[in-house]
Amino acid sequence: MRFLSTRGQTEPMGFTEAVATGLAPDGGLLVPESMPRLTQADLDAWSRLDYRDLTAAVFGCFATDLSQEVIRGCVERAYSGFSHPEVAHVRRLADHLHVLELFHGPTLAFKDFALCLLGEFYELQQARTGVPVNVLGATSGDTGAAAIHGLLGRKGANIFILYPNGGVSPLQERQMTCTGAPNVFPLSIDGSFDDAQKIVKDIFGDLPFRHRHNLSAVNSINLARILAQVVYYFYAWFRLDDAARARGVEFVVPTGNFGNVLAGWWAQQMGLPVAGFTVATNQNDILHRFFEEGVYEVGAVSKSLAPSMDIQIASNFERYLYYMLDGDTDRVRRLMADFRATGRLAFPAEKEQGMRATRTDDAAIIDRIRTVHAEYGYAVDPHTACGFTGLRPDRTSVVLSTAHPAKFPDALERALGHIPTHPSLERLKALDPVTHRLPADEAAVKAFIVEHLK
């Protein structure tokens, strides 16, 4: 299996090189040269696998330059710290409504699925080449903590994570800044997440700097991130009963960067018989506006109760655009250049692709948390709450629960009058945070990286 850039000006590469590269040298995102197509026999065989074996099977379709034994070892180590025996757990709330719990990893967020595994792939790369791995990423909350945990204490690895100052929850920030690890550098940026993400992409666009300091991407622009998330769509589908499947299954995905729902769409393209997807947004609703109006246009970021979705530039949207344009890399390149110049891209949303979107503002988030708790006795975090907007009564909905509610105590106390707790978060409160505050400036971040890699 080879991987290509959405912008068509990078030589095809294998899986391990694609993971190490992250962002393609031409500024595009890497996608499979062709999508594996599963038969019914394949699906039947996969339905009998546990989560770890299923992950190894999915990666076996893409990571063809690694042996199945190596892949399985990476998977076993990556998921050894998950607290639920199933790794991912499907909870039934009603006949027509299920929640896919993705918060049983070490940082209590769905990002753990990809980033614990990506840490294993980075260590594999470092052991093979002997070259240190310096990871650079931006976060709106959960990615940073999960990425840091995935690389914590690994030899030959340093990690630099940019996050918006005041733009993540206090507990999310503590997960990044209270590790005490000398190879971890949390960078608090005076700006928005989009500012932080732009700095990261611009640094990766400076190829001499990138190669000189051996930088690799940890954001959802990294191919391995999307592939790891593909797995739990298959796993959830296999755990629904025949009656639930017969109604038609729609996955409802709270998303900001579009990577989580893109992973589900890739699973569908591989042959998973999904009826559709709902892109659940908060009040920063660029994706909702696109699917409603066919216009992808940047607006001002509004801080919300769901901070991980406070995004106006969804970095994985380019991958989706590539498929909507039937792999026309010249057109993708022109459209992305126009978007960078104008902040606007007009392109009719493809309704036949089975995507729709919803929007949930802060007031509605509080209402959804209360309603779900009252009706089902179940507490959800503010991001997951967005998934309970506009559910279709004629389908079986599987809402992706992206984080443990204890990570967002202010919103939960406001909605329910009490705060869920988790032991790992309680331990953080006694630790001293260490962060580095910088202006939202590419040169300042580059200077920091150079200084701390000396």
Q: Is residue 386 part of a domain?
A: yes
**Least confident window among 66-80, 221-235, 286-300, 385-399:** 286-300
4 beta partners: 31
Gap between the Cα atoms of 105 and 100, Å rounded: 13
List pLDDT tens digits, range 362-408: 999 999 999 999 999 999 999 999 999 999 999 999 999 999 999 99
Gap between the Cα atoms of 248 and 243, Å rounded: 9
Q: Is residue 283 part of a domain?
A: yes
Q: What is the pLDDT of residue 347?
A: 74
The stretch 3-10 carries a mean pLDDT of 97
The stretch 203-226 carries a mean pLDDT of 88
Gap between the Cα atoms of 114 and 223, Å rounded: 10
List pLDDT tens digits, range 156-173: 889 999 999 988 888 889
Q: Is residue 293 part of a domain?
A: yes
Q: What is the pLDDT of residue 153?
A: 77
Q: In CATH, what number is assigned to the domain containing residue 413?
A: 3.40.50.1100
Structure tokens at 422: 């988790």
List pLDDT tens digits, range 217-263: 777 789 999 999 999 999 999 999 999 999 999 999 999 889 999 99
**Least confident window among 53-67, 217-231, 433-447:** 217-231
Whether residue 350 has pLDDT greater than 80: no
131 compared with 199, residue with greater pLDDT: 199
Q: Is residue 153 part of a domain?
A: no
Q: Is residue 201 part of a domain?
A: no
66 compared with 293, residue with greater pLDDT: 66
φ, ψ of residue 133 to 5 degrees: the values are: -110, 125
The stretch 442-449 carries a mean pLDDT of 97
Q: Is residue 124 part of a domain?
A: no
Domain that holds residue 347: 85-109+224-419
Q: How far is CA 35 from CA 175, 374, 406, 452, in A?
A: 36, 42, 38, 40
Gap between the Cα atoms of 132 and 357, Å rounded: 41
Q: Is 88 exposed, middle or buried (0-12, 13-18, 19+ CB in 10 A)?
A: buried
- Rounded to the nearest angstrom, the gap between the alpha carbon of residue 445 and the centroid of all alpha carbons in its chain is 23
Write down the pTM of the prediction. Answer: 0.91
Total structural domains in the chain?
Answer: 1
Q: Is residue 164 part of a domain?
A: no
Q: What is the pLDDT of residue 150?
A: 86
Q: Is residue 218 part of a domain?
A: no
Q: What is the pLDDT of residue 216?
A: 85
Whether residue 264 has pLDDT greater than 90: yes
The average confidence (pLDDT) of the chain is: 93
Contact 59, 75 (CB under 8 A): yes
Gap between the Cα atoms of 145 and 219, Å rounded: 12
Q: What SS3 state is found at 188?
A: strand
Gap between the Cα atoms of 31 and 262, Å rounded: 11
Place of tokens 């993540």: 168
Q: What is the pLDDT of residue 142?
A: 78
Q: What is the pLDDT of residue 353?
A: 65
Active site residues: 111
